[in-house]
Amino acid sequence: MPLKTRKHLPTYPSGIVEVFQDRAGASTFSAKRNPRTLDDLEAVVTLCYSAESVRESDVSMAHQEGVAITLKLRTPFVDGVSVKQKALVDGKLYDIIRVDPDGRRQLFIYLSGGRAIDG
C-alpha cells in the first residue's frame, strides 16, 4: 500500500510585516495627518510574509485606482487587515492599497509608498 503524500504548506520566508491602525486624528482644518513615529500608530497584527512579483494585471489595477504598487506581499489569512491601515516592512511605513484574500488560506497585500519612520 503506497504512503499518502503530504499537502504542500505555504512558506513565508521573506520577513515580518506589522499592520497598524492610524491613531492620529485629523488636524484643526480636517486634513489627514501622517504618523511621524510608532507612537502615532496602534498595532493590529504581525504576520510573516513572502515578497511576490507584481504582475501586469496588478499594475493596471493600481493605475485605474490612481496609485502605484511598491510591494506585493503574500501572508497567512487573518481577518482585520484593510485598506485603511498601514504596514511596516523593514523599517519603512507603507499605505495598504488593496487586500486580496485567496480563499481562507492566504492574503495578498498590495503596498504603496514607503517612507522611514522613527521608532
> Using the 8-state DSSP alphabet, how is residue 85 labeled?
S
Set out the domains of the chain in order of their start, with CATH numbers: 15-116 (2.40.10.270)
* pLDDT tens, per residue, the chain with 119 residues: 677 777 788 899 999 999 999 876 655 666 666 777 888 889 999 999 999 999 999 999 999 989 999 999 999 999 999 999 999 999 999 999 999 998 889 999 999 998 988 76
First to last CA, the chain: 57
Question: 41 exposed, middle or buried (CB, 10 Å; 0-12, 13-18, 19+)?
Answer: buried
Strand, helix or coil for residue 72: strand
